[in-house]
Amino acid sequence: MAIAALSSCGDENGAKVVFTTGMGQDEVFRIGSGVCTVPEMMVYLTNTQNQYESVYGQEVWNISVGGVTMEENVKDTVLAKLAQIKTMYLLAQDRGVALDEAEAGRVQQAAAEYFGSLSRREAELMGVEEKTIEKLYEEYALADKVYRYIIQDVNPEISDDEARTITVQHILLRTSTVDGAGNRVDYSEERRQEAYRSAAEIRRQAVQEEQDFVDLATRYSEDDVISCSFGKGEMDIAFEEAAFALETGEVSQVVETESGYEIIKCLSTFDREQTDLNKLQIVEERRREVFGQEYDAFVETLARQLNEKVWEEIALLRDEEVETTGFFDVYAKYFPD
């Protein structure tokens, strides 16, 4: 969302797009009145780089997918993250949201701790001073705060039925395949009818002969997964409607879905713990939607520009003495959720 706002060159919705002119040699991008400098970018990029290397090793940078190197991918991810935070900082100012005295004090403490953790070599190569870190933490804290401010009154009532999770077993007989190019190829009508007859026979064995459903699935299903738990809106609509209509232990009729013919057995129609967790997830999703609407509308009012020359010159630091990974951890220490 944020990276698109920076790189956009269209103006379909009244967005003010400014091309790269008159930018300082230390400026990576501007969005509205906000500016991201090279040292700020290097803090995020270097911490992200070292986090990747701590998990995957330095060899991770040799990976390329679809002609895009891992370094390019990480650079774009960091650019998007910083653009979003800068935008949310401006949104906070627009909404009159500010840090209180205690929060400002924690920003200073966090900046002092993180900057104090840097070696002289690390600070030099990233080009940072303590005030650089303080500014980044201030923007991060305000981005968090404006999100909470905008969603503070979003508390929808979620019913048990809306959040309900069920657990089922299923047997799938497919009605299509995939060719060498990865394209879906539907079966002929004759072959589809054959698949349906097979599905009906398997259901008969499960219901009338009371054969073990897992055993039938192991023998006949063309899906590696036999059991699954899900809530509403997560599955093929025909599969979901049939599954949610079942009682515990009941077996469905043969159900036609996008994947093929399904026979479904319900193991559990309600899980209290999972339902309560789903309610929390649904509420958070509704809150993100509300915030996203305000965020998107605000982005469209901002002029933005990317300094392509500076951006192309930014690269990962290849220096054994640069090991810093604590920027985000220090922030979380002073601003826990």
pLDDT digit string, tens, across residues 69-84 = 999 999 999 999 999 9
Lowest mean pLDDT: which of 16-20, 168-172, 239-243, 286-290? 16-20
User: Which residue from 228, 220, 175 is spatially nearest to 212, judged by alpha carbons?
Assistant: 220
d(CA 17, CA 19): 7
d(CA 115, CA 130): 6
d(CA 267, CA 320): 55
Question: Residue 309's pLDDT is what?
Answer: 93
Q: Is 168 helix (H, G, I), strand (E, B) or coil?
A: strand
* Contact (Cβ atoms closer than 8 angstroms) between residue 150 and residue 294: yes
End-to-end CA distance of the chain: 24
Residue showing tokens 């909470």? 148
Dihedral, 140, 138, 299, 157 alpha carbons, nearest 10: 50
pLDDT digit string, tens, across residues 124-178 = 999 999 999 999 999 999 999 999 999 999 988 888 888 888 999 999 999 999 9
CA 232, chain centre distance (Å): 20
* Sheet of strand 227-231, all strands in order from the earlier edge strand to the far edge: 227-231, 165-174, 260-268, 255-256
Question: Residue 12's pLDDT is what?
Answer: 38
305 or 9, higher pLDDT:
305
pLDDT digit string, tens, across residues 203-258 = 999 999 999 999 999 999 999 999 999 988 899 999 999 999 999 999 999 999 99
d(CA 40, CA 46): 10
255 φ, ψ to 5°? -110, 130
Across the chain, mean pLDDT equals 91
Percent of the chain with pLDDT over 70: 93
Give the chain's radius of gyration (CA, Å): 27
CA distance readout (Å), 21 to 16, 28, 30, 307, 308: 14, 12, 11, 8, 10
Residue showing tokens 């701790």? 113
DSSP 175-208: SEEE-TTS-EEEPPHHHHHHHHHHHHHHHHHHHT
* Contact (Cβ atoms closer than 8 angstroms) between residue 64 and residue 53: no
Is residue 11 very low, low, confident or very high in pLDDT (cuts 50, 70, 90)? very low
Average pLDDT over residues 8-27: 51
Question: Residue 274's pLDDT is what?
Answer: 83
Residue showing tokens 């072959």? 191
Dihedral, 179, 180, 183, 185 alpha carbons, nearest 10: -10
